[in-house]
């Protein structure tokens, strides 16, 4: 995953408006769509004709103004694959009206999916779930859950059962039974229990909420609104954002593996103090910056 923009309402010299690209096996999921995202996507080499889903958290300009430009750039590149957009329902009207007024000639189909509570949709590699965020307008937070993986294959068990290596091993790994010397052998005899996939949580703009402890529970990576330092909590409350301390507390309560702070107010020249504050509560914390790329690894598993 790559952070394309990490500022809040206004860009700075070093930070663009909110956008994150998650890439997995040729599939792209974009989290929010700040102004200038199409240039960032091109620089990153994400590709404009891949299977793409865009998740928009809410209808504030810093999170959506890049959407129209990205769609136009995709059309100029002769995109042919459908584009899936998940967002609060009013976004669809805004996009339709602006596209017509600016004569954006689409070369592909746009599939709109209204954001909602619970399971929203299933992509090639992920299940997307949503919950309500606590912001000044209707807003959602999302979790991307990778689909369950097959269990670990145990070749020593297969050999002990007299199963020749090759197609029959592959068949068992895919969950199919095989017959060897007249005896039926089932996958569970040589394959371990199914393993959960990786998961990413994304808050968007929000105040902290008790529901996030459950919603983000166990995420491998949590990306959370950290607009303000702890000492500026009054501003965070007034503007319906979170502080770095509140982000860290959320990560701790949800027992996530790693926390990434982002969506920083332009008032701060450096965010290093915010990281130090957050690490006092949740040690495995880092700050995002434009261009930061992270790999979410599978956990090391014992055999």
Measuring CA to CA, which residue among 1, 59, 12 is closest to residue 36? 12
Burial category of 46 from C-beta neighbours within 10 Å (exposed 0-12, middle 13-18, buried 19 and up):
middle
Please state the φ and ψ torsions of residue 127, each to the nearest 5 degrees. -110, 130
Give the strand pairing for 83-87 and 110-114.
parallel
Please state the φ and ψ torsions of residue 253, each to the nearest 5 degrees. -65, -35
| Secondary-structure breakdown of the chain: helix, strand, coil percentages, each rounded to the nearest 5 | 30, 25, 45
Active site residue: 32, 62, 225, 232, which one?
62
- For the record, the structure tokens of 132 come out as 């309500």
Q: C-alpha distances in angstroms, 39 versus 48, 74, 189?
A: 11, 11, 51
Whether residue 62 lies in the annotated active site: yes
Q: Catalytic positions, please?
A: 62
């Amino acid at each position: 995953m790559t952070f394309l923009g990490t500022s809040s309402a206004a860009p700075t010299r070093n930070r663009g408006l909110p956008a994150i690209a998650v890439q997995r096996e040729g599939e792209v999921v974009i989290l929010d769509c700040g102004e200038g995202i199409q240039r960032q996507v091109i620089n990153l080499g994400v590709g404009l004709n891949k299977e793409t889903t865009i998740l928009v958290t809410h209808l504030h300009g810093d999170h959506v103004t890049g959407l129209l430009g990205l769609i136009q750039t995709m059309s100029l590149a002769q995109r042919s694959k459908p584009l899936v957009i998940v967002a609060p329902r009013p976004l669809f009207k805004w996009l339709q009206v602006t596209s017509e007024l600016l004569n954006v000639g689409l070369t592909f189909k746009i599939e709109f999916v209204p954001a909602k509570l619970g399971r929203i949709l299933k992509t090639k590699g992920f299940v997307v779930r949503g919950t309500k965020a606590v912001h000044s307008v209707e807003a959602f937070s999302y979790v991307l859950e990778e689909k369950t993986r097959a269990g670990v294959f145990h070749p020593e068990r297969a050999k002990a059962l007299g199963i020749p290596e090759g197609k029959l091993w592959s068949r068992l790994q895919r969950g199919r039974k095989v017959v060897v010397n007249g005896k039926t052998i089932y996958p569970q005899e040589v394959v371990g229990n199914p393993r959960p996939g990786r998961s990413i949580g994304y808050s968007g703009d929000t105040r902290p909420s008790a529901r996030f402890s459950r919603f983000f529970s166990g995420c491998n990576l949590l990306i959370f609104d950290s607009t303000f330092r702890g000492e500026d909590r009054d501003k965070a409350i007034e503007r319906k954002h979170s502080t770095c301390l509140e982000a860290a507390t959320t990560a701790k309560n949800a027992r996530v593996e790693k926390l990434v702070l982002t969506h920083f107010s332009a008032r701060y020249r450096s965010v290093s103090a915010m990281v130090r504050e957050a690490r006092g509560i949740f040690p495995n914390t880092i700050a995002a910056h434009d261009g930061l790329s992270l790999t979410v690894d599978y956990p090391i598993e014992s055999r």
